[in-house]
Amino acid sequence: MQGSPAYLSGLLLQDRDVLVVGGGAVAQRRIPRLLHVGARVRVVAPQITDILREHAIRGHLRWEEREFRDQDLDGAWYVIAATDSPATNALVASGSEVRRTFCVRADAADLGSAWTPATADVDDLTVAVVGRRDPRRSRTVREAVVKALASTPSDDEFPPGTVVLVGGGPGDPGLMTSAGLAAIRGADVIIHDRLGPVELLAEAREGAEILNVGKVPHGPFTPQEEINRLLIDRARQHLRVVRLKGGDNYVFGRGGEEWLECAEAGVPVRVIPGVTSAVAVPALAGIPVTHRTLSQGFCVVGGHVPPGHERSDVNWQALATSGLTLVILMGVKNLTEIADELMKGGLSPQTPAAVIVEGTTDRQSSLRSTLASVGREASAAGVRPPAIIVVGAVAALELDHTAPNGYPSATAHAETVPDPMRTTTMGPLTAGTGRRV
């Protein structure tokens, strides 16, 4: 009845017939949810969108390619009138009323007998918000509720006695995943590294134990064996334990070692991946690690062990002939030796190289150079970890993310798209912007 409030009820439509009259954009928005809950969807319309046609081809729904007939309503548990004809929608609604079948009128909500709520699923909960006149407000409320629920993990997701390995991303707190943030908020214990979004430790609940096990370059550090012991000990105390790392757990984060140690001790482990600095940091410095005309792939390697060292298992000379973009983590100290080894392997001394320091933070800075000069110039500029090194043609690109109208401008230091063998010029290290001046 027009003007009356809605009575909310959850409809169980699995294996029940639902009729959708109309095959345009509105039907396309409504049908996925019906398919998700297992309804048998029948669409009656002379034409349907390409996406709905694909659903029909795959057998997800049945399409009857014609105009609506009153008898189409027979046997339907739920009806949606979504044509661009108010007259047709009115016929669908009136026929549904006679059959005592609830009907949504997409063109005039108050003239139907049901409304479509703004919905979302969060774990085992379904959020539904109904608003009579302002669907945007309903969506806003839905998103607020979903955000609140997502930041509060359930015991099913994060039971006591569990260790969750959380990839914290490259440094900017905004690049933390929502699942990772929820784990931080639900943790009893957080064991974190020096790098990553340590600002998010403020999101920990009151009373949570926070342990810093970060390693300072050439300074104090917590042995990995002690970190493993802490994880297992706190979990055995029936606590929810988060192991917070920078970047991704499994990209030079020792996440694999910690998972195996916990599993061997009988401690349940869950992994929440993070945004890896190997891709994100170059991106925010204007460097795509792949480019259709410049590089068909990339390789991420650790540079903390110098070439030729007995502990090094990186074949630098093979990488020199791979044609791939090289992304080197933890390589500042050994940058000159690495560059020399790549040149010995045949990589041109004029190959573009870039060093991005403290990427994704407000302290980000970058240096652009060539393979022959990058070690010397990084040392002269006082480059210190954490830094990402990029070697390859793409390192001469500088995509401007602040260009007007949202269209990035691409510049290379030689003013053209770089050739891998071309000499590039370099400006001084530029703080805070990741840009050359």
Res 133: pLDDT: 62
Is the pLDDT reported for residue 157 higher than 80? no
Single out the catalytic residue among 72, 188, 193, 248: 193
Is the pLDDT reported for residue 390 higher than 90? yes
Indicate the pLDDT class of residue 146, thresholds 50, 70 and 90. confident
Res 106: pLDDT: 92
Amino acid at 170: P
Q: How far is it, in rounded angstroms, from Cα 410 to Cα 216?
A: 37
Is the pLDDT reported for residue 419 higher than 90? no
Is the pLDDT reported for residue 429 higher than 80? no
CA nearest to 285, candidates 436, 434, 437: 434
Q: Residue 364 contacts by C-beta under 8 Å, 6 or more apart in sequence?
A: 284, 285, 356, 357, 358, 432, 433, 434
pLDDT digits (tens, 9 = 90+) for 396-411: 998 876 554 444 444 4
Mean pLDDT across the stretch 141-147? 78
Mean pLDDT, all residues of the chain: 87
Mean pLDDT across the stretch 160-168? 96
Is the pLDDT reported for residue 437 higher than 50? no
Indicate the pLDDT class of residue 2, thresholds 50, 70 and 90. low
Is the pLDDT reported for residue 344 higher than 80? yes
**150: buried, middle or exposed (CB in 10 Å: 19+, 13-18, 0-12)?**
middle
pLDDT digits (tens, 9 = 90+) for 274-323: 999 999 999 999 999 999 999 999 999 999 999 989 999 999 999 999 99
Six-digit token string for 55? 């659903």
pLDDT digits (tens, 9 = 90+) for 7-61: 888 899 999 999 999 999 999 999 999 999 999 999 999 999 999 999 999 999 9
**Residue 112: Cβ within 10 Å count:** 24
Single out the catalytic residue among 215, 233, 340, 419: 215
Q: Is 233 a catalytic residue?
A: no
Q: How far is it, in rounded angstroms, from Cα 301 to Cα 298?
A: 10
Q: What share of the chain is helix, strand, coil (3-state, %, to 5)?
A: 30, 20, 50
Six-digit token string for 10? 């959850």
Q: Is 215 a catalytic residue?
A: yes
pLDDT digits (tens, 9 = 90+) for 70-115: 999 999 999 999 999 999 999 999 999 999 999 999 998 889 999 8
Three-state DSSP class for 140?
Answer: helix
Res 279: pLDDT: 97
Percentage above 70 pLDDT, the chain:
87
pLDDT digits (tens, 9 = 90+) for 239-283: 999 999 999 999 998 999 999 999 999 999 999 999 999 999 999
Q: Residue 291 contacts by C-beta under 8 Å, 6 or more apart in sequence?
A: 393, 394, 397
Q: How far is it, in rounded angstroms, from Cα 437 to Cα 381?
A: 14
Indicate the pLDDT class of residue 132, thresholds 50, 70 and 90. low
